[in-house]
Amino acid sequence: MMANHMNAITPLGTTPKLPRGLRVMVLEDEAIIAMLLEDMLAEMGCEVMGPVSDVSAALNLLEAETPQMALLDVNLSHGQSSYKVAEALAGRGVPFAFVTGHAPGGLQAPFTDRPTLQKPFHLAALVDVVRAVSSEA
């Protein structure tokens, strides 16, 4: 079973070994964090889908294109959560991780075993989560 909280460190100055052009959907409602994720993923050689900031936009994006993996902020603005998007991704067999500022173990069933990226995060933690999740595909 995969660890729920990824916190291994990638040595500084190393190039992440990820599939080039990995399509990653980003659902994040905080603009600064969305831009940070987009920049870091691009630096890792990923192709970013979005970022989008709400459930409706994420589901519309999924209708247009299927990502190879996704990063989902758990709690979105206006009382929304990303669980409906998680269900859609799971139904399509697309691996994903949650991004959250809450303590590990706070995910709702049936997603309690999904990997999480804890906010605030560093590039090394993002690399570890993307590497782990993309290996599920």
Q: What pTM did the predictor assign?
A: 0.86
Summarised one tens digit per residue, pLDDT across range 33-45 is: 999 999 999 999 9
Place of tokens 């993002």: 126
CATH topology of domain 23-134: Rossmann fold (3.40.50)
CB atoms within 10 A of CB 102: 13
Mind listing the pLDDT tens digit for each residue in 2-46? 444 443 444 445 545 566 789 999 999 999 999 999 999 999 999
Domain spans in the chain, listed from the N-terminal domain onward: 23-134
Relative to beta strand 116-118, strand 23-27 is unpaired
Q: Beta-carbon neighbour count of residue 13 at 10 Å?
A: 5
